[in-house]
Amino acid sequence: MGRGYSALIATLWLAVCAPAAATTFTADISDQDGKPVVNAVVMLIPEQKTSVPGASTRLPVEKSIDQRNETFIPYVTIIPKGGRVLFANNDPTTHQVYSFSAIKQFELTLNRGQTSSPVVFDNPGVAALGCNIHDHMIAYVFVADSPWTALTDSAGRAVIEDVPPGAYQAQVWHPKYPPRREPPSARVSIATEMTRWNANIRVLPTPTASRSHAGS
């Protein structure tokens, strides 16, 4: 065989055997009225779980939740399993932050201008936060065990970079999703440089007395 033919065979072999490039996964989440859903958590769980890296390899291990104008900011915080949260009080009053959730129970008092020691969340799931002094203050910590987890923005869009090709279960969680229902999920196949997924979920109406929040 000539050199040209051998080079062609080598090129074809590399093209077949080389691993597929990672994908950018974009999820657009809308509600029952077709409106974008902000603060929805989108998580990709690979069907082959034998080689899934820890969530902390992709997600920041430490986050901060502020308290301003008697509001938790952000409303939804994503951390990996084993991650930690610092609570800061920038209000002119005392706050008592607590959670009685199944994945984490704690209670702490924060005076004006004070920041807590890190609170570690060892178990995956959702922890609802409240304030014993101000009942209207509510926020959520989503503890992920998948590194491919993101939060939707004001356009209802979540973008997850560098997802390896393969079959996944895409799951959606939102604080206003009806209770006692399984979170929406669907099987998605990621095989191209860019994969888009649209999902429609039911969201309960927000009480008129509630305050607006920003997610992160």
CATH class name, domain 53-145: mainly beta
> Per-domain residue ranges for the chain?
20-51+149-206, 53-145
Ranges in the chain, pLDDT < 50: 1-19, 209-215
pLDDT digits (tens, 9 = 90+) for 32-54: 999 999 999 999 999 987 767 88
DSSP 120-187: EE-S-EEEEEEESS-TT-EEEEEEESSS-EEE--TTSEEEEEEEPSEEEEEEEE-TTSPTTSPPPEEE
Q: What is the pTM of this model?
A: 0.84
20-51+149-206 and 53-145: same fold? yes
pLDDT of residue 37: 97
CA separation for the pair 191, 18 (Å, rounded)? 14
The fold adopted by the segment(s) 20-51+149-206 is Immunoglobulin-like (2.60.40)
pLDDT of residue 43: 97
pLDDT of residue 111: 93
